Structure 1
Amino acid sequence: MMYLLLSILFSTGLFVIFKYFGIYKVDVLKAIFVNYIVAFSMGFLLAERKIPITEIYLEPWFSGALVLGALFIVIFFVMAMTAQKNGVSVTSIAGKMSVVVPVFFGIILYNESVTFLKIAGIIIALVAVYLSSVKEEKSNKNGTLLFPILLFIGSGTIDTLLKYIQTNHVADQDISIFSGSLFGIAAFFGFLILTFKGIKKREPFGMKNIVAGIVLGVPNYFSIIFLIKALQDKNFESSVLFTVNNVGIVILSTLVGLFIFKEKFSFKNKIGVALAVLGIVLVTVA
């Protein structure tokens, strides 16, 4: 339970940091790249079992890490395109409701329990995510459904693959180096993108973006570490854990927005938070 709570806490911290990125006009792609470098370095420095970088490809989880690392970058761009084409609310809802993907595969692949309380809790949690996330945006955006669908599938795929690889290939002592490898691969793809953009338009990297990336990298590393450690807890089914984790982040992020950033919340948002608590209680009890 402690690892799950820490995962929720550090994941919420990421949303807070991204909020400040907007306030201080940080170049998100550059900060993301630096963040991956920081998280990669932490993974190897804090690893329990030391593995030479040149031998990482021999590990049973490397191919999975390669796919996940690439997905990290791809989904980042899909999120950006969804926000531009469809609006922030649609982006938030599509990303958070993707929890249904790992929940579904948890039941199918790992024969996890299916009870009335559990299904009711998950449905209530999904409704809560929608109501908590939807904002009264004054926007004329009529974007395609392609990007929200890709974001939904991609985000859910990342969580599902993370659970599968952790269950079948990652030893307890390799969690840190596995996570570090994920970020290292993501950093490599990020470097390629930045290089391509630099060829088209040269501009200084900026100390502000480096500092922002360092600040982001530490909680990002721990959010993955604690999520993987929580997934190892035999007392939690993955369908329950992903639901509680996702909805917990929604609740905490909402409270942070309300009390720290003084954001305005509609009646729908308040109902959503109340339903989120109910959904977590039902899923946990089930």
Structure 2
Amino acid sequence: MFYVLLAASCSVLVSVLLKIARRHEVDVAQAIGWNYLAASILCWFLLQPPLHSLQQPGTPWPSLLGLAVVLPTLFLVLAHCVRRAGIVLTDIAQRLSLLLSLLAAFLLFGETASTLKLTGLGLGLLAVVGILARPGQAAGSGGVSAWPALLTVWTGFALVDVMLKHIAAAGTPFAASLQLSFGLAFIGMATWLGVRAARGGAGLTLRNCAAGLLLGTLNFCNILFYILAHRALSAQPAVVFASMNIGVVVLGTLVGVFAFRERLSRLNQAGIVLAIVAIVLIAMGKS
């Protein structure tokens, strides 16, 4: 369970960095760009991706290329969401994307819809309603509604999960798909940032580079520790799944409320409880 705790901590720390970036005069877009360079380098040395596997017939290039576009776009939305809605609600919206992933598994990948999974799905949808209830005011963002950003995070992470499932179903190794996606995401972000700078936008700075490399290290470590947790508890994947998601919800709530004084409405609080119950039920349905 130590790896699960490390993975959950890295996930929450990513949100913390995005939360404090503007306060420390960090250009989030640049940081996200450098993040993919760090993640790509770490992936290459630590996971040793078999890139030759991408030359096999049947490689799902639309999903791989789509992932390279969706990942950085979603990261930008995530940063906006953390500022508007706060860490607590953003992390929960991200974790509850598993509801849409589960629905896609039923409809697209032939997964069996058990009573526990369907009950968890229903409670999870109620949890989504709870966290979308006036989140802008609840997180202290001056009354600006944050529900569009939360909704985008919720659906966006589900889309990423569906793409990864499609890539896995095609037989493409996970490490190879990560390496390609991170590399292409960095190239895409670097191109966009270069064009933006040429048009008078923010120039590249060492501060933004350092913040991005730290962000990328945490981002990749979140993935790495989650993989190691599954290897350490290979006979209990449902336990890892539930522990990771509940861990992020609980840690995110503690950090958001006590470190950043994010305010939660009663509906938001009810949504958090329902989210935890939904995760447990879905995990039990998977076991």
TM-score class, shorter? 0.7 to 0.9
CA-CA distance at 1:177 after TM superposition: 4.0
Unaligned runs of 5+ in 1: none
Equivalent residues in 2 for 1:1-286 (5 A)?
Answer: 6-48=6-48, 51=51, 58=55, 60=59, 63-78=62-77, 88=85, 92=90, 97-132=96-131, 134=135, 135-136=137-138, 152-171=154-173, 175-201=174-200, 203-226=202-225, 236=237, 246=245, 248-286=247-285
Q: Report the TM-score, using the length of structure 2 for normalisation.
A: 0.76
Q: Report the TM-score, using the length of structure 1 for normalisation.
A: 0.76
CA-CA distance at 1:264 after TM superposition: 3.2
Unaligned runs of 5+ in 2: none
Q: For the structure 1 residues 203 and 234, does the alpha-carbon distance in structure 2 shift closer, same or farther, using more than 3 Å as the test?
A: same
Residues 131 and 271 of structure 1 are in contact (CA less than 8 Å); yes or no, is this contact kept in structure 2? yes
CA-CA distance at 1:73 after TM superposition: 2.5
SS in 2 for 1:170: coil
Q: For the structure 1 residues 244 and 127, does the alpha-carbon distance in structure 2 shift closer, same or farther, using more than 3 Å as the test?
A: farther
CA-CA distance at 1:56 after TM superposition: 7.7
CA-CA distance at 1:251 after TM superposition: 2.9
CA-CA distance at 1:122 after TM superposition: 2.4
Query: Distance between the aligned counterparts of 2:19 and 2:141, measured in 1?
Result: 20
SS in 2 for 1:205: coil
Residues 109-147 of structure 1, C-alpha deviations (whole Å, 9 max, x = no match):
3332323232222222333344356343575658996x7
Residues 107 and 113 of structure 1 are in contact (CA less than 8 Å); yes or no, is this contact kept in structure 2? yes
Residues 201-236 of structure 1, C-alpha deviations (whole Å, 9 max, x = no match):
054312211111111011211333455677896865
Residues 124 and 275 of structure 1 are in contact (CA less than 8 Å); yes or no, is this contact kept in structure 2? yes
Query: Distance between the aligned counterparts of 1:21 and 1:140, measured in 2?
Result: 21
Residues 97 and 130 of structure 1 are in contact (CA less than 8 Å); yes or no, is this contact kept in structure 2? no
How many pairs are equivalent?
Answer: 274
What RMSD, in angstroms, separates the aligned Cα atoms of the two structures?
3.7
Residues 33 and 187 of structure 1 are in contact (CA less than 8 Å); yes or no, is this contact kept in structure 2? yes
Greater shift, 241-250 or 109-118, is seen at 241-250
Q: For the structure 1 residues 44 and 144, does the alpha-carbon distance in structure 2 shift closer, same or farther, using more than 3 Å as the test?
A: closer
Query: Distance between the aligned counterparts of 2:63 and 2:171, measured in 1?
Result: 9
CA-CA distance at 1:243 after TM superposition: 7.7
**What letter corresponds to residue 104 of structure 2 in structure 1?**
F
Q: For the structure 1 residues 231 and 128, does the alpha-carbon distance in structure 2 shift closer, same or farther, using more than 3 Å as the test?
A: farther
Residues 10 and 219 of structure 1 are in contact (CA less than 8 Å); yes or no, is this contact kept in structure 2? yes
User: Between the two proteins, what is the percent identity of the paired residues?
Assistant: 26
CA-CA distance at 1:82 after TM superposition: 7.5
